[in-house]
Homo-oligomer: A and B are copies of this chain.
Amino acid sequence: MPHQHLLTLSTRGRGMTDITARVAEVVRASGVVTGLAHVFVQHTSCSLALTENADPDVRRDLETIFARLAPDGDPAYRHDLEGDDDMAAHGRSVLTGAGLSVPVGDGRLLLGTWQGIYLWEHRTAGHSRRVVVTVLG
């Protein structure tokens, strides 16, 4: 039977939180040797990203890129009930995705040396976020 675990994380507003170690711990606890780890956020205004884990400027520049792709406070938006960052957050979420899978081999996440798993908060205010990790072997 697959192993499933709910992580709850508090974000501090727009930006990325490295959750690689949290996901790796669920994989270890699962006992799965070969398979797949699936990570999923139960929200539509944050997302997950696999990106470079060494230079924080990469995450900063990703904010620059995405701020252009789905800008805050665009006058063309109709959905702005929760503020200028509301629709932008939904746009960024669809562009990057609520879920991602990483292969598991030798009982651990088969990430490349420079890959980290990040929870990407797209709202400007901090939120409590639910992340479901499912490990199949």
Does A103 touch B at the CB level, under 8 Å? yes
Measured CB to CB, the closest approach of chain B to A54, in angstroms, equals 10
Among the 9-residue stretches A7-15, A19-27, A108-116, the one with 4 or more Cβ atoms under 8 Å from chain B is: A108-116
Measured CB to CB, the closest approach of chain B to A1, in angstroms, equals 6
Q: Assembly of this chain: how many copies?
A: 3
B residues less than 8 Å from A42 (CB atoms)? 110-113, 115
Q: Once the chains bind, are A94 and B94 in contact (CB under 8 Å)?
A: no
> A residues touching B (Cβ–Cβ < 8 Å)?
1-2, 4, 33-36, 38, 40-44, 49-52, 55, 57-58, 60-62, 64-65, 69-70, 74, 76-79, 81, 87, 90-91, 93-105, 110-115, 130, 132, 134, 136-137
